[in-house]
Amino acid sequence: MINMHVYTSSYYCTIFLHLNMNKVYIAILFCSLATICKAQDTTQLIPPPDTLPMVLPKIDTPLRIVNLNPFFSVHVDSVISYRFQINKNPDSYFWFLRNAPVGIRINKDNGTFYFKADKAFFLSGKLKYDYDYKVVIGVQNLNDPTERVDTSFTVVFFNTEIIQSRVKPTVSGTIYIDEGETLSFKIMCEMGSFPIENVLTLTSGPIGTFTTVQQCGEEFKWTPTYDFVKETDSAKVKTVSLKFIGNTKFKLQDTVTLKVVVRNALNYPIAMEQYKYLLHDLNAYILKLKYTFIQLDKTIKKTKSTRTAFDLTAATSALTGTALATSKNEDTKRTGLILPSVGLVLTPLKEASAPTKNAEQNQATLLRSSIKRLVYVLQDNTLAGDKDPDLNTKTNRLKEEYKQSQMQLIDVPIEVTNSMTEEDLNKYFNSLKVNKKYRLNNKK
């Protein structure tokens, strides 16, 4: 089919031929027919406006992905296949991914995005549930590297089989501790479909200062004071309940309860100070007893020497008188008769001037036995190391012996003034002469 249109003007005319063959148009432009136009009438043939051909300039549109889906939600054990399209001929472009999770692929030729969400990816820890994975996708011209598009989309995996997260402390059941002993353990978490994001610590009552647990893996630490268990508490123990509540971002909770039994214990630092003070006082008391013993022993010794001198003088007088009485000299014989009477007179003088110190002797003997017993008790209740478990028992024994000795020696005058050193006192008290004097004699 051929359509011809003639346009005339005052000088030129243009002929258009349209050949409708397979939608191919052939136009013959600017054919000068000035002579023909001049020969025609002034009547002009004007074509309708909609039949005028328009020659549009070629416009290069930018490359873009026309069906980009910004978010994919994928169920476990399912398969996703999605084809991205562009606004140009795909034969000249290739596709690529960056920062893609494990298992996600894309066909570089046609832009088909493919992924099979195997459960093995999640059980092995390579992928996580309910986590936003940002995947960068790009398409680039094979002939022109500057013509490319980079964008991204998000993939989230979910599972309808919910595995609950659990709070797992490193201890379990009932825990027994003593006052002053530090309780320390960690709070671990067993991660399920939705991990535990925070942990809340609750106690059954006020327990003083302790380290709270707010996240999985943190440590709980608490040291009960020595006055935590009261005298009114049954069996000298106090029970405390500890609760650890784990929360996920969807407010799913898991609670673990621990029971802590606190037993009444000795305040070792204070008890140690009491033991040292008691030990100091007891040693000072023993030194006082030793000094008193020395004074009593000297008094007994002096009295004994005086009585011995009287006895020797009386015996000498009697013996001398007997010897002189046999003399032939009357004067000497008279003196011999008098001397035995002088010896007899010395006996009441001895008793009057140097009476027997029986009370002092008994007191000295009692003092020496008390000193020996206290020294033995001190040695027997010596502490075994820095943390002697029998510290309280040994302190009570020393107190009891100290009090008993004071009650036993209540009538003995304890000398406070002491001009002798501890070394001198011990040297005198442990001398062979004193040991021989006050030891027991076994007479058969």
**What one-character-per-residue DSSP string does 283-347 give?**
HHHHHHHHHHHHHHHHHHHHHHHHHHHHHHHHHHHHHHHHHHTT-SSHHHHHHHHHHHHHHHHHH
Strand, helix or coil for residue 136? strand
| The predicted structure's pLDDT at residue 129 | 81
Q: Where are the domains of the chain?
A: 2-51, 71-158, 166-265, 273-438
Give the mean model confidence (pLDDT) for residues 5-17.
Answer: 40
- The mean pLDDT of the chain is 76
151-186 pLDDT tens trace: 998 999 887 777 788 999 999 889 999 988 899 999
Residue 128 in this model has a pLDDT that exceeds 50: yes
Residue 42 has what pLDDT? 45
pLDDT score for 19? 39
What integer pLDDT is reported at residue 23 of this predicted model? 39
Cβ atoms of 371 and 429 closer than 8 Å? yes
Ranges 12-21, 406-415, 424-433: which has the least confidence:
12-21
Its sign, for the CA torsion 199, 205, 207, 208, is positive
Supply the pLDDT for residue 277: 87
Q: What percent of the chain has pLDDT over 90?
A: 17
Radius of gyration of the chain (CA): 61
- Would you say 299 and 415 are in contact if contact means Cβ atoms under 8 Å apart? no
Helices and strands: H and E segment counts in the chain: 8, 17
Q: Is the pLDDT higher at 48 or at 271?
A: 271
Query: Any idea which fold 71-158 has?
Result: Immunoglobulin-like (2.60.40)
- HEC string of 12-38 equals CEEEEEEECECCECCCCCCCCCHHHHH
Q: How many CB atoms lie within 10 A of CB 291?
A: 23
Better-predicted residue by pLDDT, 392 or 182: 182
Which residue in 412, 308, 336 sits closest to 368, CA to CA? 412
Asked if 238 contacts 204 with a C-beta cutoff of 8 angstroms, the reply is no
Contact 276, 303 (CB under 8 A): no
Q: How much is the pLDDT for 251? A: 85
What does the pLDDT look like over 290-340, one tens digit per residue? Answer: 877 777 767 765 655 665 665 666 666 666 666 656 666 666 666 665 656
| pLDDT tens digits, 22-74 | 434 434 334 444 444 444 444 444 555 555 555 555 566 888 888 888 888 88
Instruction: Give the pLDDT of residue 9.
Output: 41
What CATH number is given for 166-265 in this structure?
A: 2.60.40.10
The residue type found at 399 is K
- Identify any residues that bridge with 259 across adjacent strands, giving them in sequence order: 174, 241
pLDDT at 306: 61
307: number of Cβ within 10 Å: 17
Strand pairing class (71-75; 148-158): parallel
pLDDT at 13: 40
